[in-house]
Amino acid sequence: MATLIRLWKPHGVLSQFTDAENRPTLKSLLKMTNVYPVGRLDRDSEGLLLLTDSGPLQASISRPGSGFPKTYQVLVEGVPEAAAIEQLTSGIELRDGPARALSARRIETPDLPARTVHPRVGRKCCWLEIDLDEGRNRQVRRMCAAIGVPVLRLVRTRIGPWTLAGLSPGSWRAETLHAPVSDPKRPNSTRPHDRPRGTRPSTNRPGKSRASRTPRGS
């Protein structure tokens, strides 16, 4: 069995439990012991962050191409042409190698908590939804910058079968997994096709937490 936590990381919070500069961390939101983030979100990014007490589960979810794609809703400065959006899925050369989204499209303004952003004077903005099967450092931001639309706000809404449903910024829910998991939207995944079953209510127990060493973020 493994504990898995879905947490809505707010803007401005680090995806770790300690910080030498005393910036806001997960410790202010989650008082549990021996759970570690599955991947990261940058301090200026928001949305779904998974944590678990299982090393194998942490590794299987965060591994590129593992069958647990990530969905991001991104407010960008500018309105990219269809050809520019297509570049995100056909491939973009970044400094650490080529990157390609599974899908990318323009969307209407999503139903998210309001947050003030500051585009340059006279510039229009729009929202994109981007799916990735990896999570290199600031990858979404770098890919959008490469097509000429810098990111103003980034919210991760899904990792595999887990979403922000039932959460608000700063809140979390825990469940107990009794079997290996895979993404039901990826039927050809090489992961076992057992779905998570059985949940256990979270108890918000106080305790110490240790920082994750996971080096990824978006």
For position 112, what pLDDT does the model report? 97
Query: 139 and 173, same structural domain?
Result: no
Query: 117 and 135, same structural domain?
Result: yes
* 57 neighbors 21 (Cβ within 8 angstroms): no
Radius of gyration of the chain measured on its C-alpha atoms: 17
Task: Among 133, 159, 185, identify where a domain stops.
Answer: 159
Domain that holds residue 92: 70-159
Query: 26 and 14, same structural domain?
Result: yes
Query: 52 and 95, same structural domain?
Result: no
Task: Among 159, 189, 204, identify where a domain stops.
Answer: 159
Euclidean distance between CA atoms 149 and 95, whole angstroms: 18
Residue 7: CATH number of its domain: 3.30.70.580
For position 216, what pLDDT does the model report? 53
pTM (2 d.p.): 0.82
Listed in sequence order, the DSSP H helices in 27-110 are 55-62, 82-90
Handedness of CA 144, 42, 51, 212 (dihedral sign): positive
Query: 2 and 28, same structural domain?
Result: yes
Euclidean distance between CA atoms 115 and 88, whole angstroms: 26
Query: 136 and 78, same structural domain?
Result: yes
For position 183, what pLDDT does the model report? 54
Task: Among 159, 187, 208, identify where a domain stops.
Answer: 159
For position 180, what pLDDT does the model report? 67
Give the number of domains in the chain.
2
One digit per residue, pLDDT tens: the chain, 218 residues? 899 999 999 999 999 999 999 999 999 999 888 999 998 899 999 999 999 999 999 998 988 777 899 999 999 999 999 999 999 999 999 999 999 999 999 999 999 999 999 999 989 999 999 999 988 889 999 999 999 999 999 999 999 999 999 999 999 999 999 866 765 554 443 333 333 334 444 444 444 444 444 445 67
Fill in the amino acid letter for 163: T
Query: 148 and 175, same structural domain?
Result: no
**For 59-215, where are the E strands, in sequence order?**
70-77, 92-94, 97-99, 103-107, 125-132, 151-159, 162-163, 172-177
Residue 120: CATH number of its domain: 3.30.70.1560
For position 33, what pLDDT does the model report? 80
List active site positions. 42
Query: 57 and 42, same structural domain?
Result: yes
